[in-house]
Amino acid sequence: MTAIAHRYEFVYLFDVTNGNPNGDPDAGNLPRLDPETNCGLVTDVALKRKIRNFVTLDKDGGPGFAIYMQEKAVLNNQHKRAYDALEIKPEDKKLPKDEAKAREITAWMCANFFDVRTFGAVMTTGINAGQVRGPVQLAFATSVEPVLPLEISITRMAVTTEKEAEAQSGDNRTMGRKHILPYGLYRAHGFVSAKLAERTGFSDDDLQLLWNALINMFEHDRSAARGEMAARKLIVFEHENAMGDAPAHVLFDAVKVQRAEGTEDRPARNFADYRINVDAEAMPKGVSVRELL
């Protein structure tokens, strides 16, 4: 497929209600926070995981849409698939000395794994398949306002073993904790490079799949821990020039997220408490803006 010809940036807004959007394993799975501002954080890794999971469900691993970084995947086995397909014998931790063959292996990984040609990958383990810098990158998502994590006590009306049941003298309840945010609206920025897409083969079809994933990925990622999460806005900036027509930060500054009138004196509890304004008239020459959601 032909690689995309235009550069893009995007602003992505999503929210959570009574859930934990991204637990921190170093803090007892509390929602991630910026300690200086108390604003919530969601890592780029967490967002990419949800995109990968959506593509897996949508494309069911069809040709060109396998997922490289997946749960319990043995990465060397993923690399070996390229060597087997091209009938090349792997050398320990080395690419083939023939540069054409080395490029062919890396190109095979890009052509067959959606997340490699999208996000890139370092594939230089025991079986070396090269290194790819992906055209799509995401920054951390940050909540628009400070959030207040709550610790909720929960009980389990059962025990694991008979020994535990005897020790508890007939009372089978065990206590636990659940961390939630009552509400948080998060903003993430993303980047799509046409020039890096030329190297991986990231196409217009791949781009549409990325937009579709961002819009719908929370619909297929439900769990008790995450509460209610929803994609709220996807604002896309498209450049006429493959190298771009304006700095990304100038475009991001055109998107303002503000409190709705009359809600400023209380905590936000739903998306209706905010107003999103996009200054389309302030777009630099060569840049157009669309709201896909």
pLDDT at residue 12, rounded to an integer: 98
Q: Are residues 195 and 281 in the same domain?
A: yes
pLDDT score for 35: 94
pLDDT score recorded for residue 161: 75
φ/ψ of 52, rounded to 5, equals -60, -45
With respect to residue 66, please indicate whether it lies within any of the assigned structural domains. yes
Query: Beta-carbon neighbour count of residue 163 at 10 Å?
Result: 9
Does the residue 210 lie in any domain? yes
Q: In angstroms, rounded to a whole number, what is the distance separating the alpha carbons of residues 49 and 282? A: 34
Residues 217 and 271 in one domain: yes
Residues 145, 275, single domain; the answer is yes
Residue 31 lies in a domain: yes
* CA proximity to 185, closest of 34, 50, 51, 21: 21
Indicate whether 52 belongs to any domain.
no
285 part of a folded domain: yes
User: What type of residue sits at position 209?
Assistant: L
Query: Which parts of the chain register pLDDT below 70?
Result: 164-165, 167-173
For residue 33, what is the DSSP state?
B
> Is 240 part of a structural domain of the chain?
yes
Count of CB atoms situated within 10 Å of the CB of 154: 10
Q: Per-residue pLDDT tens for 210-234? A: 999 999 999 999 998 899 999 999 9
Residue with structure tokens 């009980």?
155
Q: Is residue 193 located within the same domain as residue 284? A: yes
Residue 185 maps to a domain: yes
pLDDT of residue 171: 61
Which of 132, 159, 188 finishes a domain? 132
Shared domain for 200 and 92, answered yes or no, is no
- 245 with 102, same domain: the answer is no
Cα atoms in the Cβ-side hemisphere of radius 13 Å centred on 104:
14
| Residues 127 and 209 occupy one common structural domain | no
Question: Which of 132, 159, 191 corresponds to the end of one domain?
Answer: 132
194 in the same domain as 213: yes
- Are 113 and 230 part of one and the same domain? no
Record the tokens describing residue 74, joined without a space. 């043995």
Q: Which amino acid, residue 163?
A: K
Q: For residues 285 and 239, give the distance between their C-alpha atoms in angstroms, rounded to a whole number.
A: 9
Is the domain of 1 the same as that of 85? no
- What is the rounded distance in angstroms from the CA atom of residue 61 to the CA atom of residue 66? 4
Q: What is the pTM of this model?
A: 0.91
Q: How many domains does the chain have?
A: 2
**Which of these, 202, 208, 188, 212, lies nearest to 54 by C-alpha position?**
212
- Both 104 and 20 in a single domain? no
Shared domain check, 75 and 217: no
The per-residue pLDDT for 245 is: 95
pLDDT at 167: 67
Residue 125, C-beta contacts closer than 8 angstroms, at least 6 positions apart: 75, 76, 79, 93
Closest CA to 82 of 106, 64, 103, 65: 106
* Per-residue pLDDT reduced to its tens digit, 1-29: 799 999 999 999 999 999 999 999 998 88
Residue 49 in any domain: the answer is no
User: What range defines the domain where residue 36 resides?
Assistant: 1-43+140-150+180-293
